[in-house]
Amino acid sequence: MKIFGVDPGSAHTGYGCIDASAGRHRILACGALSPPGRSAFPEKLRIIHDGLTALLDEHRPEAVAIEDLFYARNARSALKLGHVRGVVMLAAAEAGLQVFEYAPAEVKRAVVGYGRAEKQQVQQMVSLLLGLDPPPSRLDVTDALAVAVCHAHSMRPDTSGEQPVETRGAPRSWRRYRPPDTAGRRSEP
């Protein structure tokens, strides 16, 4: 399954495309869309949209994973980030792709195993998981790859072996696991 991860930002929008097959992850592309700093904000949004549209057309992923908005220094920053996220979602929708959103702590937990990991720890684990030497120098690129890996980890193969099935909401610890009942639903703890 090809997964396209995005770490939205108005100055730098990181992206990474991975192939997650048979429990292994392989990087297909990564980088950052960086509009000129002097550009007007609407022009930056257009550049990001056009760049993502071209990348999605080139790589043809099956899903787009994006980091969810959780914190901004101020309302203006949050609003700008929201606009960029909207442009990312629009590009994915135009390509006919489903968008999956993950909180930063969820991404860190999936990649590092600890929801409050530092960015350098995420960078190291992404490098190990994808066999990157050296790791990407830009942290927005690493974050985009981490979101894609998080989505890959949140999927499990379907019993028919055709398509992965999303496991969000499934128990995150073996202590909370309950075997499925006869109807295939998980029993409540």
Catalytic positions, written as ranges: 7, 67, 140
Cβ atoms within 10 Å of 63's Cβ, excluding its own: 21
Distance from C-alpha of 169 to C-alpha of 173, rounded to nearest angstrom: 11
Q: Which residue's entry shows tokens 């606009």?
A: 83
Distance from C-alpha of 161 to C-alpha of 68, rounded to nearest angstrom: 29
The token pair that represents 58 in the structure block: 């080139």
The token pair that represents 96 in the structure block: 């006919």
Q: Which residue's entry shows tokens 């909370």?
A: 176
